[in-house]
A and B are shown apart, each in its own frame.
Chain A
Amino acid sequence: MARKTVLIDTSLCTGCKACSVACKAWNELPAEKTQLLTSYQTQNAFTTKTWTYMTFVEKYEDQKMNWLMRKAQCFHCADPSCMKACSSNAITKTESGYVVIDQEKCIGCGYCVENCPFGVPKVDQVKKKSYKCTGCIDRVENNLLPACVNTCQPGALSFGERDVVLTQAKKRLAEVQKTHPKAQLYGEKEMGGTTYLYLLLDSPEVYDLPVNPTVPLSLTLWKDVIRPVGTVAVGGAAAAVVLGVFANLFRGNYSNSDHKEGGKD
Chain B
Amino acid sequence: MSPSFGRGAMTNSWSDLKNAEVFLIAGSNCAENHPIAMKWINRAKENGAKIIVVDPRFTRTASKADIFAQIRPGTDIAYLGAIINYIIEQKLYDQKYVLNYTNALLKVSTDYKLEDGLFSGYDAKTRKYGTASWGYQLGPDKKPLKAESIEDPDSVFSKLKAHYSRYTFDTAEKISGIPAAKIKEIADVFCKGKPASILYALGMTQHTTGVQGIRAYAIIQLLLGNIGKAGGGINALRGEPNVQGSTDMANLVSNLPGYLPHPINTDKTLRDYLVRNGSFFEKHIVAQLKAWFGENATKDNDYGFSLLPKTNPAVNATMVKLFEMMNKEQFKLLFNVGSNSLVSIPDRQLVRSALTKLDMLVVSDLFEIETAQFWREPGVNPADIKTEVIMFPAAFVYEKAGSMSNSSRWIQWKDAALEPLGESLPDLDMLDHLFKKIRKLYAGSTDVKDAPILKARWDYGEHTSALKVLQELSGYDETTGKLLPTIGDYLKAPIGTASTGCWIYAGVTGNGNLAARRNNADPSGLGLFKDWSFAWPGNVRILYNRASCDEAGQPVDAKRKLIWWDEAAKVWAGNDGGDLVDKTKGPDTPEGKLSFRMNPEGVGRLFAATYMSGLPAEAPADGLPAIGIRPAGICVDGPLPEFYEPTESPTTNILHPEVSISPCALVVSTQIGKSDKFPHVLTTYGVVEHFCAGGITRNIPWLNEIMPEPFAEISKNLAAKIKVVEGDMVEVSSARGKITVRALVTDRLQSYKVNGKDTETIGMPWSWGFASLSPGPSTNEITIAALDPGAGTPEYKVCLVDIRRAN
Chains A and B belong together in one complex? yes
A: which residues have CB within 8 A of B? Answer: 12, 14-18, 20-21, 24-25, 30-40, 42-43, 54, 58, 60, 65-67, 69, 153-155, 172, 175, 179
Alpha-carbon distance A40/B64, docked complex (angstroms):
16
Task: Tell me if B619 is interfacial: C-beta within 8 Å of chain A.
Answer: no
Give the residue name and chain of the B residue nearest to A21 (CB).
B702
* Given A20-B706, A30-B701, also A65-B68 (CB < 8 A): yes
Alpha-carbon distance A21/B742, docked complex (angstroms):
24
Q: What bracket does the count of chain B residues touching chain A fall in? A: 35 or more
Alpha-carbon distance A40/B35, docked complex (angstroms):
16
Stretch with Cβ within 8 A of A (4 or more), from B55-63, B168-176, B415-423: B55-63
* Given A36-B711, A154-B31, A155-B42, also A67-B702 (CB < 8 A): no
Q: A28 to nearest B CB, angstroms?
A: 11
Interface pair B748/A58, CB less than 8 Å apart: yes
Picked from B43, B66, B703, B744, the residue with its CB within 8 Å of the CB of A21 is B703
Q: A233 to nearest B CB, angstroms?
A: 47
Interface pair A153/B60, CB less than 8 Å apart: no
Q: B776 to nearest A CB, angstroms?
A: 11
Task: Tell me if B747 is interfacial: C-beta within 8 Å of chain A.
Answer: yes
Interface pair A42/B707, CB less than 8 Å apart: yes
Q: Give the chain A neighbours of B707 by CB distance below 8 A.
A: 40, 42
Interface pair B58/A67, CB less than 8 Å apart: yes
Task: Tell me if B252 is interfacial: C-beta within 8 Å of chain A.
Answer: no
Q: Is the interface of A mostly helix, strand, loop or mixed?
A: loop
Q: 11 pairs across A/B with beta carbons < 8 Å?
A: A17-B706, A20-B702, A32-B705, A33-B705, A40-B60, A54-B706, A67-B58, A154-B35, A154-B38, A154-B39, A179-B66
Picked from A16, A24, A36, the residue with its CB within 8 Å of the CB of B35 is A16
Interface pair B702/A39, CB less than 8 Å apart: no
Task: Tell me if B746 is interfacial: C-beta within 8 Å of chain A.
Answer: yes
Give the residue name and chain of the A residue nearest to B708 (CB).
A34
Q: B17 to nearest A CB, angstroms?
A: 12
Alpha-carbon distance A15/B707, docked complex (angstroms):
12
Q: A25 to nearest B CB, angstroms?
A: 7
Alpha-carbon distance A34/B32, docked complex (angstroms):
20
Give the residue name and chain of the A residue nearest to B741 (CB).
A36
Interface pair B742/A35, CB less than 8 Å apart: yes
* Given A34-B708, A36-B708, also A153-B702 (CB < 8 A): no
Give the residue name and chain of the A residue nearest to B43 (CB).
A155
Alpha-carbon distance A118/B42, docked complex (angstroms):
30
Give the residue name and chain of the A residue nearest to B687 (CB).
A40
Give the residue name and chain of the B residue nearest to A152 (CB).
B39
Picked from B688, B702, B742, B748, the residue with its CB within 8 Å of the CB of A24 is B702
Interface pair B705/A60, CB less than 8 Å apart: no
Q: Give the chain B neighbours of A38 by CB distance below 8 A.
A: 726
Alpha-carbon distance A235/B60, docked complex (angstroms):
54
Q: Give the chain B neighbours of A31 by CB distance below 8 A.
A: 701-702, 704-705
Q: Give the chain B neighbours of A67 by CB distance below 8 A.
A: 58, 60, 62-63, 748
Alpha-carbon distance A172/B726, docked complex (angstroms):
35
Alpha-carbon distance A15/B63, docked complex (angstroms):
10
Alpha-carbon distance A60/B750, docked complex (angstroms):
11
Q: A168 to nearest B CB, angstroms?
A: 11
Chain B positions 754 through 783: 1 when the CB is less than 8 Å from some CB of chain A, otherwise 0 = 000000000000000000000000000000
Task: Tell me if B432 is interfacial: C-beta within 8 Å of chain A.
Answer: no
Interface pair A17/B688, CB less than 8 Å apart: yes
